[in-house]
Amino acid sequence: MLKTRVLQRLEALSITQWEAARRAGLHRNFVYDLMEGRKQKPQQKTLLALARALQCSVDYLIGNTEEIGSPPPVSEASGQGLPVVGIIEEGAWRRPLKQPRGTVLIQPDARYTGRQSAYLFRGDPHAGLEDGMFVLAVDAGDYERQIGAPAAGNPVIVELRRKALNEVQTVVRPWASGLEMSLRSTDVEAQVVAIVAAAFRLY
């Protein structure tokens, strides 16, 4: 029933499986795998996110009712999830985000008291990250106030900015003294914006 209902909502909304997964904050192949029978029993939090993306109730998705109903509210779907504030992708320049790209179902890391957020990783495997994973990051300033400078080699998120074109590129680099200076050029500014605390692949 779940596969049938998902297909009906995809058709009703005129969106692809990959777009539905993106809206839900799930791995981009999640809905495809669900339709192919590779995902049999999604977790409740995954169903909540999928219902929001498909603009229906969870009860409708799993066949408990014939009424489409209303999607779960953001608070119910995301719990204490984190805002997705950017995309890490080597070589990809984008306009700066004016607001988060939604929320992903990742719990904040209790080890850190500072602000935490999530980034979507795109591209070839790098620093233990693979395409479609979400990176849990701690604000660099808050991390330094709580713990101090990152350990040498600890992955950090660097924002490269082309001011003349109002474009940013977000990358991951191992922390080292002078890192920001080494990435700067005449046209590009560099700033460490966050420290990588963990990475997740959501299914």
- Structure confidence by residue, pLDDT tens digits, 156-169: 999 999 988 999 99
- Structure confidence by residue, pLDDT tens digits, 133-189: 999 999 999 999 899 999 999 999 999 999 889 999 999 999 999 999 999 999 999
How far apart, in whole angstroms, are the C-alpha atoms of residue 38 and residue 48?
A: 19
Asked if 55 and 13 count as a contact pair (C-beta separation under 8 A), the reply is yes
Give pLDDT < 50 ranges for the chain.
75-79
How far apart, in whole angstroms, are the C-alpha atoms of residue 47 and residue 51?
A: 6
> Quick one: pLDDT at residue 80?
55
> Quick one: pLDDT at residue 128?
87
> Quick one: pLDDT at residue 111?
86
Q: Domain 82-200 has what CATH class?
A: mainly beta
> Quick one: pLDDT at residue 77?
42
Give the closest residue to 202 by CA, choosing from 8, 25, 7: 25
Amino acid, res. 8? Q
How far apart, in whole angstroms, are the C-alpha atoms of residue 48 and residue 33?
A: 17
Q: Per residue in 3-20, is it b (16+ CB within 10 Å) or e — as a string?
A: eebbeebbeeeebebeeb
| Number of C-beta neighbours around residue 106 at 10 A | 23
Largest interatomic CA distance in the chain: 61
Asked if 84 and 99 count as a contact pair (C-beta separation under 8 A), the reply is no
Asked if 106 and 133 count as a contact pair (C-beta separation under 8 A), the reply is no
The CATH number that domain 2-77 falls under is 1.10.260.40
Burial class (CB in 10 A: 0-12, 13-18, 19+), 80: exposed
> Quick one: pLDDT at residue 75?
47
Residue bearing tokens 């890391």? 109
Domain ranges of the chain: 2-77, 82-200
How far apart, in whole angstroms, are the C-alpha atoms of residue 84 and residue 10?
A: 23
Judge whether 2-77 and 82-200 match in fold. Answer: no
Name 67's Cβ contacts closer than 8 Å, sequence gap at least 6: 57, 60
Measured torsion, CA atoms of residues 74, 75, 80, 83, in degrees rounded to the nearest 10: 30
